[in-house]
Structure 1
């Protein structure tokens, strides 16, 4: 039996109640579907004429697109018949929309890692290398094509990540984000047809779970500022943590790379390591007191304020990354004993300095100002982040109901 291609409106609606337009490829009574990428109301589809009704505002454009896609599919079927290829409906679909290049997913993965290494983004390189290793183990081959990465592949891979690999939902989704990034690059390079894109509405969705962000409160911060029974290493770790907090949760890598030459006119001037933004922040009195503990170690104006990076080979990105990672691990270990002495039960790491600033700021600072302090590129990022620490309206609403 010869294969056929037909326009259809699929019966499974999306979250908005709209139905996907698709091309149905049938062979030996078995069918597979290739979505066109557009959704319409069921009432806008003419089942007899197999076209979008004029009642739809974009009927003409959609019908032209459908005609083009159907013609493309039928040409593919003719080409297969000409070469006497006997295949199932699914194999026919794969053959019609086959990639235009021999480049594989791992060719792109290797290029991605090489670029990160060249740009000296060692932290990202280390993380993405680990995630790519999971894809290698699952696919059991480095010849994985983008065509093979369909919705079914992604669903099975997610089960593998959370099951056999015991990764969290957040980490699993981060691996999917990397796959999506490389898939988009392959489409841009015309290595694979955008028709095969497995992500998005009605396909595989990347959805991150909500995470609980906990910071210290006013009373806990006062305990830390007044604590005095600390060893030298504990005091140093707390100083670095407070320095980060006083500058709105500055990232530990930026803290450790602060030089004395960046401090002048009562301000700190520095370039963020994450996005290369230039910033100028007023030095609070509390930071000035911390600096007094380290000024005697200063050998020159270009020296680092904190000692961790003084022996790092700054021409070697891997060495800088390793020393930053080692320092952070040391700080977090010492902070654990500091919190115990302060009588604080919350788990505190270097990153919690940022959460603590957000928690204490609450809704008392305008989002635009917080955006500047957090050094976010997008205001939405600031609003979403700060929403984790704003509970006033919900608390008042709850009290209004229960206060009887």
Structure 2
């Protein structure tokens, strides 16, 4: 239960006056909110009745002001208590007024980017930088205040994005419109910066342009997740790449390793160490969520890994004891920014090589490194592997996450329904 009262500091401030605060007590923890008002003397305050005495020249007006502030604090404490997250600090944070100074969107965005750099999030920096650049093209180089970024402003930005163009990755001379997912990602970074400004009390919730009821709604469009067929995977395994540069064989081997280890992510695959292999099992920590686990090492995966045993596994050429060679010359794996930047560049090379390999096996499918995960999920759905088993393999915290992911590859019932209806 929250207790709210007026608190008068017993020691005078530098100007000789005594500041008036609102004291919030919840679970024996206290927080103080300065009201900006002061007393000339402690004798002007009646502690028992919690009122300013009539000896103060503006006693009536000041008492009404303090009653209003007490009511605000009590109402906010009750509101947060019904939401199950009441604390003295939370009430203070909610009541803290928005700073009355001009704050531009770019000020908070620059702070966001600086923090991402300090955290070593190279991928976030690379994607957010491009999205913010496009926003700055529309919004006076980011020199717009948060009240200016209202619903009408964001609606015009959506139109701007839908009319924008980008170069195709494979053909720099050809342009195409931004995809719905790309547009959504551009809106998300604006929302992220806006939320940060609200949390820092640098923007008001009343001006927030995102949500329902006439505001901008952010929806994630569904994207098709298509894996490789069993035939295509078999063709990958048997394709003779001896006449090509090593990157082709490495791209194929890394892709297959990811597939054999239940759709392992490419970052985790590139970071695999020889010491992760013990007693016929692979022990590793998933980089995305920090989850530990182990998997059986299939014979096909072991055959691939053993190709890298000599020349790549020695301490002289591979100080980090990595199985695959693409990160071995980094001074340290602890420099997150440098590591993520190298991985990003390596993945681009691997994906480009996989594009050429798919042409060699006569397929038009996209076989980027992440498609190994989709391919495993597709095969698992076809083999009707139980979601709880897949949850453990994927290391998802929630079974619903696994079921939602697998639903992207569930086509059998729909196919059977079509056959049942038209098969006459």
TM-score, normalised to structure 2's length? 0.68
Preserved CA contact (<8 Å) 1:101 1:192:
no
State the Cα deviation string for residues 252-303 of structure 1 (Å, max 9, x = none).
1211111112221322222222222223222222211111111112114951
Is the counterpart of residue 386 in structure 1 residue 386 in structure 2? no
* Deviation for aligned residue 1:170: 0.7
Kindly indicate whether residue 201 of structure 2 is the aligned counterpart of residue 182 of structure 1: no
The answer as to whether partners of 1:241 and 1:353 remain within 8 angstroms in 2 is yes
Report the count of equivalent residues: 311
Q: Is the 8 A contact 2:105 2:145 kept in 1?
A: yes
Could you tell me which residue of structure 1 aligns to residue 321 of structure 2?
A: 303
The secondary structure found in structure 2 opposite 1:268 is strand
Indicate the residue corresponding to 1:319 in structure 2: 338
Matches within 5 A, 1:387-402: 387-402=407-422
Residue correspondence of structure 1 range 1-400 to structure 2 within 5 A: 100-165=100-165, 166-202=177-213, 203-230=215-242, 231=244, 232-297=246-311, 298-300=313-315, 302-314=320-332, 316-362=335-381, 364-400=384-420
Q: Distance in 2 between matches of 1:160 and 1:198?
A: 17
Q: Deviations over 1:177-207 (max 9, x none)?
A: 1221222222222222222221112221101
For the aligned residue pairs, the C-alpha RMSD in angstroms reads 2.5
**Structure 1 spans left out of the alignment, 5+ residues:** 1-63, 69-96
State how far apart, in whole Å, the 1-side matches of 2:202 and 2:191 are: 14
Are residues 214 and 173 of structure 1, via their aligned partners in 2, closer, same or farther at CA, if it must alter by over 3 Å? same
CA contact (8 A) 1:105 1:145 kept: yes
Quote the Cα distance in structure 1 between the aligned partners of 2:399 and 2:196.
Answer: 27
Separation in 2, partners of 1:350, 1:329: 9
Unpaired segments ≥5 residues, structure 2: 1-70, 76-96, 166-176
CA distance in structure 2 between the aligned counterparts of 1:318 and 1:193, rounded to whole angstroms = 34
Distance in 2 (CA, whole Å) between partners of 1:209 and 1:164 is 18
What CA distance in whole angstroms lies between the structure 2 residues aligned with 1:152 and 1:158? 10
Does structure 2 conserve the Cα–Cα contact (< 8 Å) formed by 1:100 and 1:190?
A: no
Helix, strand or coil at the partner of 1:172: helix
Larger-gyration structure (1/2): 2
* Conserved? CA contact 1:99–1:147, under 8 Å: no
Superposition deviation, residue 396 in structure 1:
1.0
Helix, strand or coil for the counterpart of 1:393?
Answer: helix
Query: What SS is found at the alignment partner of 1:148?
Result: coil
Output the CA distance in 2 between the equivalents of 1:195 and 1:397: 49
Task: Answer whether contact 2:226 2:374 (CA < 8 A) is retained.
Answer: yes
- Contact 1:313–1:319 under 8 Å retained in 2: no
Task: State the distance in 2 between where 1:269 and 1:111 align.
Answer: 38
For residues 337-387 of structure 1, the C-alpha deviation after alignment (integer angstroms, 9 at most, x for no partner) is 322332323221111111111111116122233233223344333222211
CA distance in 2, matches of 1:395, 1:162: 34
Query: What SS does the corresponding residue of 1:279 show, helix, strand or coil?
Result: strand
Does the CA contact (< 8 Å) of 2:117 and 2:337 recur in 1?
A: no
State the alpha-carbon separation in 2 of the partners of residues 115 and 280 from structure 1: 33
Distance of 1:296 and 1:357 partners within structure 2: 29
Deviation, structure 1 residue 101: 4.5
In 2, the alpha carbon distance for the partners of 1:219 and 1:340 equals: 14
Residues of 2 paired with 1:302 and 1:143: CA distance? 46
The answer to whether the 8 A contact 2:147-2:207 is kept is yes
Contact 1:313 1:320 in 2 (8 A): no
